Each structure stands twice: as C-alpha cells, then as structure tokens.
Amino acid sequence: MTSSITPPLKGIRVVELTHTILGPSCGMILADLGAEVIKVEPVDGDRTRKLRGFGAGFFGYFNRNKKSLALDADSPDGRAVLVKLLQSADVMIENFAPGSMAKRGLGPADLEKINPRLVYCSLKGFLPGPYEKRPALDEVVQMMGGLAYMTGPSGRPLRAGTSVVDIVGGMFGAFATVLALKTRDSTGKGGLVESALFESVVFLMGQHLAITAINGAPPPPMPERVSSWAIYEIFATSDGQQVFIGITSDGQWKRFCEFFGQQALAADPKLATNNQRIEARPWLVPKVAEIFKGYTKDELERLCLDADISFAPVAQPQDLFDHPHLLANGSLAPTTLAGGVQTRLPLLPFQMLGWRPPLVSDPPSIGQDNEAVLAGIGYDAAAIASLGKAGVLGPK
C-alpha cells in the first residue's frame, strides 16, 4: 500500500550523539519518520562500525536514513561546529555514560541556554533515582529485571536472542521525543526527555508482576511454565522439522479434531473444555505429538490453515530474507551496507494512513555529509576545507 502522506517529522532536525544500539535505534525511528538526523561521530567513525561477532550488524541496521558528520567535537573548532549545529536543531539524542555530557558542557542545562527550543533526549541505564549513575548494558538489565531468569530454565538465566531492551528503550525515547515536540508547539520550549534500559525491562516484565500479585507466587521460567492452553507446544514432523502449534479455544479444539480425523478425542467429555484439557496434558500432549508426527511440515501447515489453528514453523533469522509474506508486502528494504554488501533489512513494523516509513538512504559512510551539513549552518567552502586540513573533520 502506498500513500502520498508527508512524513510526519519532515522539517525536524535531530543531532545524534550516540553509539551502539540504544541511541541509534531512537535516531533511526525518528529518521524513518522523516526527520533529518545528523549522526555526529568521531573523525575515525563510530566505534560500532568496527564491531565483530554478535555486534557486526549493529551499525548497518540502526543507522539508515541518517547523515554522517565526522567531527572532533572535543577540539575547540569542532566544539564550535557542534554548538552551531545544536543551535539549528530541534532534538539532540545522546546515550553516553551518566554525567559525561555535562562534563563536556553539553548537559541539559547547558543546551537550554544555547537553544531553549531543543528537545534533549537522554538515554541511560536508569531513570533518576539511587541507581541513575550506574553504568548499564542490555544484558545487565535483562539480568537485573528478571527477563533473563524468565527466558532460561531454572538456574540457567539466559539473555533474549536480540537486543530487545536497547531497542525498546530507544523506541520509548523516540516516542517521548515526539510527545515533547508536540508539547513544544504550544509552549515554545524544549526540555529534557529521558528513557532508560532498566525501566524498559521492568515495563516488559509487568505481566509477570501482575500474575505474581494475582496468584500469590511468582511464575516459573518460560521453559517450565504452566501453559494457559492445553496444546501450546513445539512438535516434531515426519520430515525432521519442528513446528509450533497453539490450540487456544474450544472452537479450535473442535476444528482440530475434525480436520485431523480425531473423532474419539472430540467425543471425549473429559476434553470438552480448555481447563479439562489442561488437566489431561500428561497424556494428551504425547497423544497429539504422535498425531502431528505423522505429517510433514507442509502438510501440517495446510491442515492448520484449513482448520484456522495457529501454526508456525520454527525458523532461523536467515529464513526471513526469503519469507513470502515479507517479500510480498515490502517489509524488507533493499539496503547497501559497508563494503557494498547488498541485503534486505526490516522497515518499521507499522503503516499509518496507508504510509509505510521507507528506506530513503543507506547507512552513511564516515563523514559522508560533512560538506552539506556544514554548508547548511553557514560554513563556506574555504572554512570547511580549513577544518578538514586541521583534522577537525573526518574523511568522506
């Protein structure tokens, strides 16, 4: 679906002083929504560009639709450039260690004097309180907030398989920033916006806090959970695949029995309701597993679709590159990464009034937009060349 809607943040300038995932994910969301996001990075580039292993995809994914200004912001001339840029900005995003921006004279109070309309988005480990000066990482707060405990089996806490808390923290930072911009429309003033990793993971754990309050006892980790539904499992198929099948209503149970030819199960009064089937799980789940083991993955998918039963093959991340649904609806944007690597990466997962936030530009090279950004805030060609010669600007 396409739409001629104007990107909602068109005309908003964001200066991004960030690294890794928490800050860049916030900036990416704002950029996808149409803001001009200028990523200010060291003259030798954001350190995330050089990560290997699990972090090798961080820069390429979280920095699309942005401009790159490679700047020695700690030098006198570089600081002057940064201040001038911030005077022209609507938003600044930072996710450096607690207190480090204030030490550089770029804290909220400093920037309020430089630009009273600036929305200062600060992304940290903790919101204000006793822990606010502690350093934090995604994995640290997954452990601290109980997410790792709920993910792994007892005695083996396990971080989630993606940087979920960094991304959620960045998302809430972007959400709060948009709200602050809306408030500025009526007050004329910017101000401080804060989002934090620990409070983000606590928000994600809210359902477990609620069930603890209701049941009077904490829930067990997910591998040992007592399911709310009788059939809600991973099953093996005849061709050596794994599928997840969830039968979550009495209607689905009846359709399962009908489409899979299980008249005896359908007629059993001890299986009439979901709660009765939960009581029968010790023998019912092995029975259903035996039934499913008689089908291939493709056969199971066809039957589950016909019966309107929730079904999913157990996929790996690389399977998404060729997923027919994603390819058909344009959810994966063709993207060129560093070194000319061609791939397809996910867009934001929503549509608004028929508009899907698009890929406008690939992740930038180091200093790709130096001249354009500086010219836009009043530097002429000679001044830009002088800054480059002095090493204040990084290479294009």
Which residues are annotated as catalytic? Answer: 166
Structure tokens at 52: 């290997």
Comparing CA positions, the residue from 153, 315, 303, 308 lying closest to residue 244 is: 315
Cα separation, 73 vs 166, in Å, equals: 25
Q: Is 275 exposed, middle or buried (0-12, 13-18, 19+ CB in 10 A)?
A: exposed
Q: Using the 8-state DSSP alphabet, how is residue 260 labeled?
A: T
Cα separation, 163 vs 293, in Å, equals: 34
Cα separation, 278 vs 235, in Å, equals: 17
Comparing CA positions, the residue from 312, 318, 282 lying closest to residue 297 is: 312
Supply the angle between the helices 206-215 and 197-204 in degrees, to the nearest 10.
50
Cα separation, 125 vs 326, in Å, equals: 34
Cα angle vertex 57, ends 53, 61, to 5°?
165
Identity of the amino acid at 297: K
Q: Using the 8-state DSSP alphabet, how is residue 140 labeled?
A: H
Structure tokens at 211: 């069930």
| Helical H segments across the chain, by residue range | 22-32, 58-62, 76-87, 100-103, 108-114, 138-144, 147-151, 164-187, 197-204, 206-215, 250-259, 263-267, 274-279, 281-292, 297-307, 324-329, 370-376, 381-389
| Neighbouring-strand partners of residue 234 | 244
